[in-house]
Amino acid sequence: MKGERAGTPSLSHVGSDGTARMVDVGEKGVTRRTAVAEGRVVMSGEAFGLVRGHAVTKGDVLGVARVAGIQAAKRTAELIPLCHPLQLDHVDLELTLQEDLPGVRVTATVRVEGRTGVEMEALVAVSVACLTVYDMVKAVDRAMRIEGIRVLEKTGGRSGDWRATQP
């Protein structure tokens, strides 16, 4: 691999002189690439009941968070300095009420036909959706926690498919 030192893999966003750089993807082939990420907002039972009952005074928590996540995925390159701007083909957010947390599980699926992956777009979508849930419910529960944000799987590209092994 270009830039490796004695068997140690290099970071693709660090140049040989140690400075940050945007990766050149011009020689990569265009392939279908997908990424799925997840995160959770853990809240009090009272807050959960209000979200479940559509009784939060700011409005439809899950609907607004879904739209916020989609918008965020489309703006990832503006937020993460070394990300390539991508013309996304599909962004889907699933927000699921989970009584056992209690809270909301957010899953984002992002797809593109492109030269680079969409893991960052999926992670940004989940992060912003979780932050939106927090914002809309914080008047009831300021102790909510956003946790477990991670990539679950990615497909396509030179490195192939990958799936998280831990639940």
Encode 113-122: b = buried (16+ Cβ within 10 Å), e = exposed.
ebbbbbbbbb
Helices 61-74 and 119-137: angle between axes, nearest 10 degrees: 150
Tokens of 77: 């390159």
**Are 153 and 167 spatial neighbours (Cβ–Cβ below 8 Å)?**
no
141 catalytically annotated? no
56 φ/ψ sector (left φ>0, alpha ψ -120 to 50, else beta): beta
| 78 to 13, 18, 86: CA distances (angstroms) | 17, 23, 11
Residue showing tokens 């969409």: 118
Catalytic residue among 100, 135, 141, 161: 135
Task: Provide the annotated active-site residues.
Answer: 135
